[in-house]
Amino acid sequence: MESAWVPVEVVGVRAAGDETIVLLLDGVDGLVVPIVVGRGEATAIAAAQAGIAPPRPMTHDLLRDVLVALGGRLDRVEIAHLEHGVFHATLVLAGGVRVDSRASDAIALALRCGAPVMCAAEVVGAAGIEVQVAASESDVEEFREFLDHVSADDFDRPPSTGPSPST
């Protein structure tokens, strides 16, 4: 059975004690999907969002450049499933080639390539946290305030069955 895909927006990266989370927003249903990521990946995601280009290519820049040099293109990223608290992603390249990826790396690459991030509806349903989607300027400011002060502890996470998951 094929998954239903939900377009999500990468709304931010937040440090929360020893953990860092990236927040994906399903703007239609008003759900935020929090994903715990490593510090390096969080930095790569935040730099891409800010449009910061390093003087020498970092790993995600290098992968983008290799794709382009080979005539390839990243069509989209799919956050395909959630297993034991770990988000699994797929890079979908031009021509339908699919490559398994950590969610954090897939998001960092999507931002660099201008590719959409899609999330399986089942993942949004399982991990999404309801938020009020901003409709007015005051709502936008309230949502930004929420993002500035959110921590990983603010979200219920599925129980882990082993060491801390890496994405």
The CATH number assigned to the domain holding 55 equals: 3.10.690.10
Report if residue 120 sits inside a domain: yes
What is the structure's pLDDT at 53? 86
| Range of the structural domain that residue 95 is part of | 5-154
CB 149 within 8 A of CB 33: no
- What average pLDDT does this structure show over 129-144? 63
20 pLDDT tier (thresholds 50, 70, 90): very high
Structure tokens at 114: 């201008």
44 pLDDT tier (thresholds 50, 70, 90): very high
Query: In the chain, how many domains are there?
Result: 1
What is the structure's pLDDT at 96? 93
Structure tokens at 15: 């440090």
Element (H, E) at 121: helix 121-127
Rg (CA), the chain: 16
- What average pLDDT does this structure show over 40-51? 92
State what percent of residues in the chain have pLDDT above 90. 65
Report if residue 68 sits inside a domain: yes
Report if residue 145 sits inside a domain: yes
Report if residue 37 sits inside a domain: yes
**pTM to 2 decimals?**
0.79
CB 115 within 8 A of CB 76: yes
Structure tokens at 53: 């280009």
What is the structure's pLDDT at 164? 45
Report if residue 58 sits inside a domain: yes
- What average pLDDT does this structure show over 84-104? 96
Bridge partner list, 81:
88
Quick check: 115 pLDDT over 80? yes
What is the structure's pLDDT at 162? 43
d(CA 16, CA 149): 9
Structure tokens at 120: 């399986």
What's the sign of the alpha-carbon dihedral 49, 119, 124, 127?
negative
Report if residue 62 sits inside a domain: yes
Report if residue 93 sits inside a domain: yes
Mean pLDDT (the chain, rounded): 85
What is the structure's pLDDT at 37? 94
What is the structure's pLDDT at 17? 82
Bridge partner list, 105:
none
Report if residue 162 sits inside a domain: no
